[in-house]
Structure 1
Amino acid sequence: MSSQIFHVTATFEAPVYATERTERVIEAIDTLAPEATVETQSGDERAPGTVVARTHSLERLSERFHEQAILDSARTTMLDGLTPETNTVTFRLKKQAAYADVVNFAVGDPDELGDITVTITVSEGDPAAYVRQLAPPTEDGVPVDDE
């Protein structure tokens, strides 16, 4: 694999509804990005609060892709969310699964309690190459160098 250098900022954003505890939503994000800086915004009965976490490392998320053997589906999902004009990759994850330290991509309509929206902005390097670094191609389930 190439030794390309990337500079990324990843933002994890999740709603916090009145029936949820903010701490649990923070813990859900923390399982995937333990080094993230977290901010919270309070909500009320009409609108959810929000947890926003930012990090420059997605090492733990990549580890989960490897451990769960979901590299190909993770890469495909992230590349589907790639917007080349803005060098961003956007995808959604299930909050409840993240709380259990499991990566489960959200598809279709958001979950009743909302999903975690992840936006990765690559300010240095090729976003598609960064995605391939997080979730490399596999052959018979084993990561391979795609260079």
Structure 2
Amino acid sequence: MIHAKITFSAPVYATEDSEKVKAAVSNMVNYGRPKAEEVLPESVSGANHTHEENKTASDDKNPFISDAENIKETAIAVGDLDLLSSIHYLIRKEEIIDTANTALTDGIDETGCKTFVALNKQAALMKHLSFPADTEPLGSVYLEIKAETPDELLKIIDWLTPPTKEGVPVYELKFNEL
């Protein structure tokens, strides 16, 4: 089984309801899952806030957040591959396998071990999955998938977004094949 660290996070701006932002993150983590994962709020002191106990040298900066002074906290859920079950389901429900694949592969960093994508916060609140085309005024729900090797990351992406023919998956990896 592949070992990976999955992080969903969303900035809570001063003008936003913290509970709604937590619900948006929770929807991306828990939709269609029998066990609910807790979404924790964290106080922030700037845009480059990360979950301190999980911080690494490459976690220094969130490239999507530029308005740090208006962020009062971050809603965050951190875990293993199980946290991707809802995203796996929503990608198929929304019929956006190819779009999701592009977003996930475009978000791969220079090490090849991590991908970082933005998910539309308002869509997430309504239990939908959408990849915003541009930076959103109140930020997004951010998904980071960090694997131990580039091959493991590509296998996770292949499980989430398999190759398609006319929008239909050519094959589907099972979760236990990861």
Compute the TM-score of the two structures, normalised by the length of structure 2.
0.71
Runs of 4+ in 1 over 6 A off after TM superposition: none
Secondary structure at 2:148 match in 1: strand
Q: Contact 1:65/1:74 (CA < 8 Å) preserved in 2? A: yes
Displacement of 1:107: 2.8
**How far does the alpha carbon of each residue in 1:24-83 deviate from its partner, in whole angstroms, 9 at most, with x for none?**
111101111124442212469x43121121121201101000111100110111011112
Aligned length: 141
Task: Give the one of 31, 53, 69 matched to 2:77.
Answer: 53
- Aligned residue type for 1:72: D
- Percent same amino acid among aligned pairs? 29
Give unmatched runs, 5+ long, in structure 1.
none
What 5-or-longer segments of structure 2 have no aligned partner? 31-35, 46-68, 174-178
| CA distance in structure 1 between the aligned counterparts of 2:21 and 2:113, rounded to whole angstroms | 27
Taking only aligned residues, the RMSD between alpha carbons, in angstroms, comes to 2.2
**Offset, 1:146:** 8.4
Kindly provide the amino acid, as one letter, of the partner of residue 47 in structure 1: N
Q: Do residues 12 (structure 1) and 11 (structure 2) align?
A: no
Shift of 1:113: 1.0
Is 2:153 the partner of 1:127?
yes
Number of the residue aligned with 2:49:
none
Moved more, 60-69 or 6-15: 6-15
Q: Distance in 2 between matches of 1:36 and 1:127?
A: 23
TM-superposed deviation, 1:84: 5.2
In proportion to residue count, which structure has more helix?
Answer: 2
Distance 1:137 1:82 in 2: 18
- 1:84-103 to structure 2, matched below 5 A, reads 85=111, 87-103=113-129
List per-residue Cα deviations over 1:98-128 (Å, max 9, x = no partner).
00111111233x2111111111011365211
Q: Which amino acid aligns with 1:62?
A: H
Cα distance in 2 between the residues matched to 1:99 and 1:18: 18
When you count strand as a share of all residues, which structure comes out higher? 1
Q: Hey, what's the Cα distance between the residues in 2 that align with 1:106 and 1:36? A: 25
1:112 paired residue number: 137
Indicate which of 80, 89, 99 corresponds to 2:106: 80
Contact 1:8 1:123 in 2 (8 A): yes
